[in-house]
Structure 1
Amino acid sequence: MTQPPSPADASRERIVAAATALFAEHGYDGTTTRTIAGAAGLNVATVAYHVGGKADLYREVMRRAHEAEQAAVGAALAEFAREAPADPAAAAAAFADRYLDFCLAQPHVPALWMRRWLSDAAEFAGLEEQYTRPLLESVRDALTAALAELTPDRAELALWTVLWTTHGFCRSMIRAQVPRFRAHLRALVLRELGLDGAP
């Protein structure tokens, strides 16, 4: 039987949850420590005691977002590796499905990265190299290993296309259009990877 979190741990988690939602919605630059404290139902001094400054909190939020994305992508890559030898097109489409499902389930992750693409939190240089680049390369390498005709450059561009498209759609949160977007994303992935039969 697991123990309930300590009051300090519970406060910290409330702060991180509030900061995650606010950074995703308003960006780092558009969020204050006072706003985070208010959303968490705590005072500014308590926030500082549990997590440090706003910059420390942002690093923690981005680390957690990365770890969630890394776990989802790792599981999807393992499935892709099992399925690709028999049917690479189905495996690639399923990988896109799994990534879309992750982004729909955790919309703060694409929102946080889209904020960065808009130059939010520009003073935090290196997060893309620390988090995005290794993850992108692991997927690129898996694709090029499974698809003999696929060059690394084409694989990487296909991945960025999926990221930009999926993150933009998930940010819109038009749930009624998910089936239509899923079909579009599958077709996009197959075309970008040269698996749609087109010359």
Structure 2
Amino acid sequence: MKQKAQAPVSAEVSHTPSDIDIELLALDLTSCTRCAGTLENIEKAIEIVRPAAEAIGTRLNVNKIIIDSEARAVRHRFSSSPTVRVNGLDLAFETRESRCDSCTTLSGSDEGTSCRIWHYRGEEYTEAPVGLVVEALLGVLAGQRSAAPAPVEYGGVPENLRRFFAGRAARQNGAAHSCCDPSEQANCCQPQAKAECCGPTTEEDSCGCR
């Protein structure tokens, strides 16, 4: 008896959108030119990649995290500012730094504060290059970049960051006891001039704001 041919069974494959999470960890996003510039470049990269991501149902999420203490640095395994991670994987495979004038001013440290520098296609940048971020995002979309990196041993908070946190805390305590109200200090001068403008002076009941 001739058997009736069975129709092929078609398996329906459901596609669940997979988010791409972009983390920017920074010491400051207001005064630090490197951190603010990196955020701007991330936003530019997202606009470039967004059409391709939307075409396959992928959302691009940005999470900005300000690291304002040693405890927070440990919690986020933070060792250099700014740090950019895509789905938990650091964009920079090595840590290179140079003196950052913005963060040196914020900390008031005589030794200075160093922030990350980026090497991309033979050039050096003080902000994460747009091209580097675009390549990382496209790599995730194409399945070429790991979304679950193996954990890297964290060596603790570097001395460079310890000095920054200590210096900034000391400056904030000094500002709290200066002659000017904090709201007045916030608007009396440019961020890069705060060290000279708002720092305590040797004059009694006086500070650099007046």
Question: TM-score normalised by the shorter chain: which range applies?
Answer: under 0.3
More helix by share: 1
Of structures 1 and 2, the larger Rg is shown by 2
After TM superposition, the score normalised by the length of structure 1 is: 0.24
